[in-house]
Structure 1
Amino acid sequence: MKINRLSEIQKYIREVENVSLDTLCDVFKVSKNTIRRDVTELQKKGLITKVYGGITINQKNPNELFESREPFESREGKNQAEKIAIAKLASELVEDGDVIFIDSGTTTKHMIPFLALKENITIITSNLHVILASIPYPKLNIISTGGVLYRETISLTGIGVISFLKDYNISKSFLASTGVSLAKGVTNISPLESEIKRYLVENSITTSLLVDHSKIDIASLMTYCRLEDLKFFITDKLPPKEYIDFFAANDITLLTPQ
């Protein structure tokens, strides 16, 4: 567990660049003494630099010190047929006149062609791939959240995104995740995006999660919602029985193309 925690702390610092010890305690649910020991170990390895009140990414050579996440283009090419099938199922939940949010991710963007024949659909998104995919379809109304470019997912982030979203009545949100588990819920690797996803779960009428089977039984860095907060769980094949039983017990609709 310590090895896993040290790895996750590295990833977290790479995302936020600098952070206080108190925040690390809150995120990783450990004592300040434990965090101090972890920080000391990472510092000895040359992975971080201690500053007043916290730690920061080592600016000498951050690309070598922190293993980068797999590039978006590489992730997007995996399980593509399955992702398209998931997106098609998700699009069938959208009705004429809906105001929806489409999340960043390698599956969600495939919803766009299936939405093109619907009437008066408004899509709010922070993802540049979704925006670009919508250009050939003039009937789709596209609203961008604006924000700061997050290159890992080619999406826009920042506290201004949540402020922007408060002006809109979103009926349905279609979200992505880097991992799903019964113990940790719906998780994501990016702290910058997790707060946005959390807001959408709490402020949409219905929330749908789009994940292929490779994301199931995986816990990533941060939990942004509980599984029972979802209305629809959309994946490419039936998950393990314990997930099916959990969905049935918590009134979550499981959708698969099989």
Structure 2
Amino acid sequence: MMAEERLSRIEQMTNEKGYVSTRDLAGALQVSEPTIRSDCKELEKQGRVIRVHGGAKSRRTRGILTQSSEKDMDDRQGHEQAEKDALCRYAASLVQDDDCIFIDGGTTFATILDHLKGKRVRVVTHSQIILNSFTSENGELFMIGGNYSPQYKMNLGPAALADLDSFNFQYAFLSCAGVDIDRRKAYTAELETAEVKKKAMKLAEKSFLIIDSSKQKIKGFYSFADLDEFDGIITDRTDQEVPDHFIIPEEN
């Protein structure tokens, strides 16, 4: 089977079933799982499927993204990274010296600290990704405690919420699993990360949702906020007229 024929079959199977595992695709097409992963990466690059942990999801599906179907942080690292970096650059440009900000977990914010260097800021986070990349050039860091989640690389649970309640922020920069522009909802794949996001929004003067375009039209298990609750949704592009509250930085 030629490569393009294989790509078409993978797209067809995901559209028919909504989600197909890497193992099932490899068995059906009689190729190795690494080949399927490579094919799915190419299909996602072309905008034909959505890669998730253990397989691929149709872009047409009405299915719900859950914790078991969401990709781990290690799998997401590097995905849409150029777009995410541009969004981080814009978000960092809003921050002034002496601001206190909350930075959410997730690979979306992998490079935001690079764009905050030289600013005197206080950063509050529950994200190991932020902790690992923080330096003295970024000001001060306050790491929230809680139960550590290896899947999400962040601290969660009641202790995290209690720690967070001690702070106030000029800005909360948040990520999510997906948004439904028509219903104007922001989603997570489970509850614990959502509770931290909701708490941070209450403690912030302004809240911004940062999403690359791959997360648009993805419904998650749990809706944690209406899009109108954010002061802005910063994204790289949309496939329709720019909705209310959406900000597309000029460099994109």
Please report the TM-score for the alignment, with normalisation by the length of structure 1. Answer: 0.67
Whether contact under 8 Å (1:98, 1:122) holds in the other structure is yes
Match of 1:179 in 2: 178
Partner residue, 1:18? none
- Is 1:155–2:154 an aligned residue pair? yes
The amino acid across from 1:117 in the alignment is G
One-letter amino acid matched to 2:248: L
- How many Å separate the matches in 2 of 1:185 and 1:217? 10
Equivalent runs, 1:42-61 vs 2, <5 Å: none
Which AA in structure 1 matches 2:157?
G
Question: What is the one-letter code of the residue matched to 2:129?
Answer: H
Question: Structure 2, unaligned stretches of length 5 or more?
Answer: 1-17, 19-66
Query: What's the % identity of the aligned pairs?
Result: 23
Change (3 A) 1:217 1:148: same
Per-residue deviation, residues 23-74 of structure 1 (Å, max 9, x unmatched): xxxxxxxxxxxxxxxxxxxxxxxxxxxxxxxxxxxxxxxxxxx955322122
**d(CA) in 2 for partners of 1:83 and 1:184?**
21
- Looking at secondary structure, tell me which structure has more helix per residue: 1
Query: Equivalent residue of 1:218, what SS?
Result: coil
Instruction: For residue 190 of structure 1, report the CA deviation from its aligned partner.
Output: 2.4
User: What corresponds to 1:254 in structure 2?
Assistant: 247
Partner of 2:122: 122
- Correspondence list, 1:1-258, <5 A: 67=68, 69-118=70-119, 120-135=120-135, 137-182=136-181, 183=183, 185-241=185-241, 244-245=242-243, 247=244, 252=245, 254-256=247-249, 257-258=251-252
Q: Is the Cα–Cα contact under 8 Å of residues 231 and 253 in structure 1 kept in the other structure?
A: no
Amino acid at match of 1:177: C
> Amino acid of the residue matched to residue 173 of structure 1?
A
- Cα distance, 1:114 vs. partner? 0.5
Equivalent-residue separation in structure 1 for 2:106 and 2:138 (angstroms): 23
The one-letter code matched in structure 2 to 1:203 is L
1:181–1:255 CA distance, 2 compared to 1 (3 A): same
Q: Report the CA distance between 1:202 and its aligned residue.
A: 2.1
- Runs of 4+ aligned structure 1 residues displaced above 6 Å come to none
Q: Contact 2:235/2:248 (CA < 8 Å) preserved in 1? A: yes
What do you get for the CA RMSD once the two structures are aligned?
A: 1.9
With the length of structure 2 as denominator, give the TM-score of the two structures: 0.69
Aligned positions, number: 185
State the secondary structure of the residue aligned to 2:110: helix
